[in-house]
Structure 1
Amino acid sequence: MNALTPPVLDPAAVAKVPTQNRAKLRFEAVLLESERLLAQSGLERFSIPVLAERLDITRGSIYAYFPTHYAILNELVGRYLAEMETMYRNQYDDLIRSPLIESVRRVVHQAVEYHNNRPVARLLMLGGAVTDASYRAQEMLLARLGHMGREIWEQHEGSQGIPEDVDIFTVSVDLAVACFRRSVFQFGEITPAYRDAAIRAMYGFLEAYLDP
């Protein structure tokens, strides 16, 4: 399977997105309350029975859209990942015009700001994979960001050939994420020191492969 090809997921881990307006409102209400519960109590107390009680609805009305609580978590992770990808896609032209070190700084600073301002996204994306589906979704995003990095570098004036035997851009993203996760594990957020470590890790790795 190609890194950019969507994986086949367990149906129990995938939300059933409704089409009718009333159902859509309930679907969104479940996700919103899920974020509130996760922000307050983390994963320990997160369950569909608790959500049903907080929303004052039946469990069945939640199971109609989310076969398991993992489907809720995966839907949230999918939305966070889509937000991040859009955030970087919107800066595509600016990243092309910037020197490599400036592009790396911008990408890292914005990722840090995103995670530090969204505690639930930080919990689900940097606290360790919640499910196999969320792990695969995150790996797919890293691969897409790496692919974007390759596209950007190829458009730099004077850029040289990029190695084909190692996916250097995706590995560089992995290095930054490793710094983020270590910081979250130690301090609960991404600190300035770990932010700078992520910049050095990404740039140092890429510089070794790319002709400046």
Structure 2
Amino acid sequence: MARMAKVLDAAEHMLEEVGPEKTSIPALAEMTGVPRAAIYPFFPEKYALFSHLAMKHMDCLTKALALSVDEPTRDWREWVDAAIRVTADYYNAHPAASILLLCGSFSDADREAHESKNAALGTLFRAKVASLGALTALPSIPDVATIGLEIAFACMKHGYATEGRVSPEICREATRAVIAYLGSWDEQG
């Protein structure tokens, strides 16, 4: 497993340096000294490798957001702002995550993983706002909580595409957009 960890680390570095198009299993084999024949049983193509890395980053991002749920806030709007900042900080600290999660899906497995991540984060969001006694009327059809998350991710994708990072200005716009959308469902507001 140490060899695969070496390959995964090298893949993240290569994604950052040359992008997904130029990242390849043969180049990773050459860079790491791990034979291609040892890589292919785990990752038969680079997209399987990308999916694995994307899932790893989705799990880490979900854990970071779950920790932010535990932080006390007075208002759901404050929590939205904090969650967006946690997400932006994660993306900015992990450029490979930005490439894999913000630039797009590379395969059907990636798209399914994104849908799963968004549903899990939507559930997390619902639980947080319920604990604050807010946004009690968020419908599940359509899934308003997940749509709100998609709005935030769209802002971050735009920021990453135009600036190569998720800037504080983009975080503010993401917060404003999500609050405006979800605010229409706020029975207390």
Q: Same fold (TM over 0.5)?
A: yes
1:128 paired to 2:118: no
- Find the partner of 1:189 among 161, 165, 181: 165
Question: Structure 1 runs of 4+ off > 4 angstroms?
Answer: none
TM-score under structure 1 length normalisation: 0.83
Where in structure 2 are the equivalents of 1:1-212 lying within 5 Å?
A: 24-94=1-71, 97-157=73-133, 160-212=136-188
Larger Cα Rg: Structure 1 or Structure 2?
Answer: 1
Contact 2:3 2:34 in 1 (8 A): no
* Larger relative helix fraction: 2
**Cα RMSD between the aligned structures?**
1.6
Q: State the secondary structure of the residue aligned to 1:94.
A: coil
Distance 2:141 2:15 in 1: 41
Summarize the Cα distance change of 1:188–1:106 in structure 2 as closer, same or farther, 3 Å threshold. same
What are the ranges of 5 or more consecutive residues in structure 2 without an aligned counterpart?
none
Contact 2:76 2:134 in 1 (8 A): no
Residues 139-178 of structure 1: per-residue CA shift (max 9 Å, x gap)? 2111111111112222224764432432111010000001
Residues 40-91 of structure 1: per-residue CA shift (max 9 Å, x gap)? 1111221111111111232101112211111111110000000011112223
Count of residues in Structure 1 that have an aligned counterpart in Structure 2: 188
TM-score under structure 2 length normalisation: 0.92
Q: State the secondary structure of the residue aligned to 1:42.
A: helix
**Higher mean C-alpha displacement, 59-68 vs 76-85:** 59-68
